[in-house]
Amino acid sequence: MINHSTIPILPKKENILGILGGGQLGKMIAIAASNAGYKTHLYCPKGDNPAETVVSSITHGAWDDFDKLVEFSNNVISVTSEFENIPSKTLELLANKTSVIPNSKVFRSAQIRSKEKEIAERSGFKTPQWFLIKNTDDLITASKSMNKDGILKTNSLGYDGKGQVRINQQSNLFETWEALGSVECVLEEILEFKREISIMYFKSTDNTDGFFPISENYHENGILKKTIAPAVLSMEIENNLKLQTKKLCENLGLYGIIAIELFELFDGSIVFNEIAPRPHNSFHWTLNGCDNSQFDILVRTMCGLPVKDVKPNGKWEMTNLIGQYEDIITETSKDQDYLLYLYGKEQTKPGRKMGHLNKRIN
């Protein structure tokens, strides 16, 4: 595996940054890299890829096309993935030739719910009561011993609330199991929470690190709808959360950025939900709400440039445009305080994230 360079990677012609995945996160990483003077090279399968319009070069290939991946890795000095379900084999192959940020271990841990919960618990986080479910017998036993409503989630490949079903004591567990594809799952207790929050930590390859202000998140049908930030927490709770986050990232060996989704319960305690080792939707407000956005900071961490805590410049609200968005932008375009980011996806589908609006609220 290539060691991360201790010499900063400055924006020179030969220092091209690699991006895996062509979605909106890839697009916004490429724009930040370009603003900082770096050329970018995108690797992704052919498709409706918004990032393609803003990168310097593109390789279309499958995640297991090892010849193309080797060629790509020869062209880039540092690479990151916007795609959370990137196979770890792909990242391991790239790591022979270039610096991969975050590394494959971090992505693998984020891809398997039972693994991320175990590592969170080892780092001092509370998690909802949960059970690993390998078959219907496990499901019946776990749901009896839990004795309350739960959420059954596939152990891997879930996103935007996909791959999960709520169950209660009346549910037909055989049908639920089949509906999720009869694959390994986790069963979690349903928590009553005051609000959902997320924290973002980052560490550059020069070993400097920092946090963004915390975000407060509102979901609809399992999809993030709105973020308000910065969220106010008591100093003691925030400091403790930061310590646990740093411990988790030490255990993962993280370089790059990571978001952790959390529940704040009515008694003020914080419970771990999941991690995402990439830019996160709940930090899109940082595009306007901070001098350095999450995308700018990711680029700095990939290049070994020093980083520190990022401060907010006011209170911000981020609203996702999900599915049909035309009416919303007709209305909000009358007001220049709504800052529109439309991703440029060709196909609008219900539940698909098409763009977002940032607005300063004080």
* Residue 247: its H or E element: helix 235-252
Mask for 248-267, x = binds ligand ATP (CB under 6 A): -------------x------
**Distance of alpha carbon 29 from alpha carbon 121, whole angstroms:** 31
Phi, psi of 210 (to 5 degrees): 180, 180
User: Taking the complex as a whole, how short is the minimal distance between the CB of residue 191 and ligand ATP, in angstroms?
Assistant: 4
Phi, psi of 265 (to 5 degrees): -85, 170
**Distance of alpha carbon 56 from alpha carbon 16, whole angstroms:** 9
**Distance of alpha carbon 49 from alpha carbon 107, whole angstroms:** 21
Asked if residues 289 and 358 have their Cβ atoms less than 8 Å apart, the reply is yes
**Distance of alpha carbon 91 from alpha carbon 60, whole angstroms:** 16
User: Taking the complex as a whole, how short is the minimal distance between the CB of residue 3 and ligand ATP, in angstroms?
Assistant: 32
The residues near 259 (Cβ < 8 Å, ≥ 6 apart) are 198, 199, 200, 275, 276, 278, 279, 280, 282, 283
Piece in contact with ligand ATP (CB under 6 A), picked from 64-72, 154-162, 323-331, 340-348: 154-162
Cβ proximity to ligand ATP: between 36 and 191 the closer is: 191
Among Mg ion, ligand ATP, none, partner that 161 touches (CB below 5 to 8 angstroms by kind)? ligand ATP
Cβ proximity to ligand ATP: between 66 and 159 the closer is: 159
Task: Enumerate the β-bridge partners of residue 218.
Answer: 226
Among Mg ion, ligand ATP, none, partner that 259 touches (CB below 5 to 8 angstroms by kind)? none
Q: Which residue is nearest to Mg ion (CB)?
A: 261
Cβ proximity to Mg ion: between 188 and 261 the closer is: 261
Site for ligand ATP contains 188 (CB under 6 A): yes
Among ligand ATP, Mg ion, none, partner that 191 touches (CB below 5 to 8 angstroms by kind)? ligand ATP
User: Taking the complex as a whole, how short is the minimal distance between the CB of residue 162 and ligand ATP, in angstroms?
Assistant: 6
Phi, psi of 6 (to 5 degrees): -90, -15
Interactions with Mg ion, residue window 251-280 (CB under 5 A): 261
Cβ proximity to ligand ATP: between 204 and 273 the closer is: 273
**Whose structure tokens read 């550059």?**
204
Cα–Cα distance list, 222 to 35, 126, 163, 189 (Å): 34, 21, 10, 16
Asked if residues 356 and 289 have their Cβ atoms less than 8 Å apart, the reply is no
User: Taking the complex as a whole, how short is the minimal distance between the CB of residue 187 and ligand ATP, in angstroms?
Assistant: 10
Cβ proximity to ligand ATP: between 94 and 152 the closer is: 152
Piece in contact with ligand ATP (CB under 6 A), picked from 44-52, 178-186, 187-195, 347-355: 187-195
Query: 230, 227, 231, 233: which is closest to 317 by C-alpha?
Result: 227
Among Mg ion, ligand ATP, none, partner that 222 touches (CB below 5 to 8 angstroms by kind)? ligand ATP
**Distance of alpha carbon 140 from alpha carbon 272, whole angstroms:** 25
User: Taking the complex as a whole, how short is the minimal distance between the CB of residue 153 and ligand ATP, in angstroms?
Assistant: 6
User: Taking the complex as a whole, how short is the minimal distance between the CB of residue 160 and ligand ATP, in angstroms?
Assistant: 4
Interactions with ligand ATP, residue window 191-230 (CB under 6 A): 191, 196, 219, 222-224
Cβ proximity to ligand ATP: between 72 and 343 the closer is: 343
Interactions with ligand ATP, residue window 264-293 (CB under 6 A): 273-274
Cβ proximity to ligand ATP: between 72 and 212 the closer is: 212
* Beta strands at 130-133 and 99-100: parallel, antiparallel or unpaired: unpaired
The residues near 345 (Cβ < 8 Å, ≥ 6 apart) are 24, 48, 50, 352, 354
Provide the 8-state DSSP code for 126: B
User: Taking the complex as a whole, how short is the minimal distance between the CB of residue 223 and ligand ATP, in angstroms?
Assistant: 6
Cβ proximity to ligand ATP: between 122 and 148 the closer is: 148
Cβ proximity to ligand ATP: between 132 and 305 the closer is: 132
Binding site for Mg ion (CB under 5 A): 261
Binding site for ligand ATP (CB under 6 A): 128, 151, 153, 158-162, 188, 190-191, 196, 219, 222-224, 261, 273-274
